[in-house]
């Protein structure tokens, strides 16, 4: 039980990677606050966590609305007396990307806001509480595509690189308060994230797509699963990583086979 007696807020925790993290944390003894605009699926995810012996609450929350974000954090603290862990998972790409010369300004604004603003709002709401307790773990979700774009999706890749910059700044600022801030860079993970790009494929056709994707581009020869990312998140949320902050961890099956050069890595490379 690596997270016994811990409390975590997981944004976008109703489905996909967020759901995988919520279920993993619950199995490890953590009380999970599943915050998602999709309350129905958040409630179903919570029910699965409780069925496995976990505990928590599901809260409807638009992660881009400051009032709702603050209300979510307040409810979490009111219910569990504290927040130890924040997983900033909410984000995505709501439509298939277009070339930069054809991209509407509104699409650019929407994707950057979707992937960056929630990090700011939730971190701003949680950090004062973590500072007062001199303890915290903040885990942000970026993408391996931020450092090795597989296709032209400039708004999404720019936003996900911004998540890395946000992480490095916050990690440096909060380190004196025993608050560790790290970022995960998942590679291709089979979730509904791909639905806008794949269209109305059957499950069998999706099986073929992800099988070919894994064998074509990923050294470990398979696409990832939400649990793969959840395992890495568990490491960063637990005391196993108590001396790790400001790190960018690839969870991508070996792709790309090159390091993400954070400042400390650049120093070591000299």
Annotated catalytic residues are 156
- Bridge partners of residue 7, in order along the sequence: 31
Do residues 182 and 245 lie in contact, with contact meaning Cβ atoms separated by under 8 Å?
Answer: yes
Structure tokens at 87: 């997983």
Strands (E) across 61-158 are located at 85-88, 136-141
Do residues 189 and 229 lie in contact, with contact meaning Cβ atoms separated by under 8 Å?
Answer: yes
Contacts of 134 (CB under 8 A, 6+ apart): 177, 178
Describe the strand order of the beta sheet including 136-141 as a list of residue ranges.
Answer: 55-60, 31-36, 7-11, 85-88, 136-141, 179-186, 248-251
């Amino acid at each position: 039980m690596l997270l016994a007696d811990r409390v975590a807020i997981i944004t976008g925790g109703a489905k996909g990677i967020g759901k995988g993290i919520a279920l993993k944390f619950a199995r490890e003894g953590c009380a999970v606050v599943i915050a998602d605009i999709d309350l129905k699926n958040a409630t179903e995810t919570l029910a699965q966590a409780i069925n496995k012996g976990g505990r928590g609450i599901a809260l409807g929350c638009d992660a881009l609305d400051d009032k709702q974000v603050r209300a979510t954090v307040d409810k979490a603290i009111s219910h569990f007396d504290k927040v130890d862990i924040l997983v900033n998972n909410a984000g995505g790409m709501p439509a298939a990307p277009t070339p930069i010369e054809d991209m509407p300004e509104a699409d650019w604004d929407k994707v950057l806001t979707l992937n960056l603003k929630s990090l700011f709002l939730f971190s701003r709401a949680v950090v004062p509480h973590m500072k007062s307790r001199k303890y915290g773990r903040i885990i942000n979700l970026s993408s391996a595509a931020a450092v090795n774009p597989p296709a032209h999706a400039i708004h999404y890749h720019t936003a996900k690189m911004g998540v890395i910059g946000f992480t490095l700044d916050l990690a440096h600022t909060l380190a004196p308060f025993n608050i560790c801030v790290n970022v995960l860079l998942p590679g291709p993970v089979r979730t509904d994230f791909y639905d806008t790009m794949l269209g109305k494929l059957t499950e069998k056709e999706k099986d073929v797509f992800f099988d070919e994707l894994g064998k074509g581009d990923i050294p470990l020869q398979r696409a990832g699963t939400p649990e793969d990312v959840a395992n890495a998140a568990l490491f960063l949320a637990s005391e196993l990583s108590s001396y790790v902050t400001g790190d960018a961890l690839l969870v991508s099956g070996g792709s790309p086979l090159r390091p993400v050069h954070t400042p400390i890595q650049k120093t070591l490379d000299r």
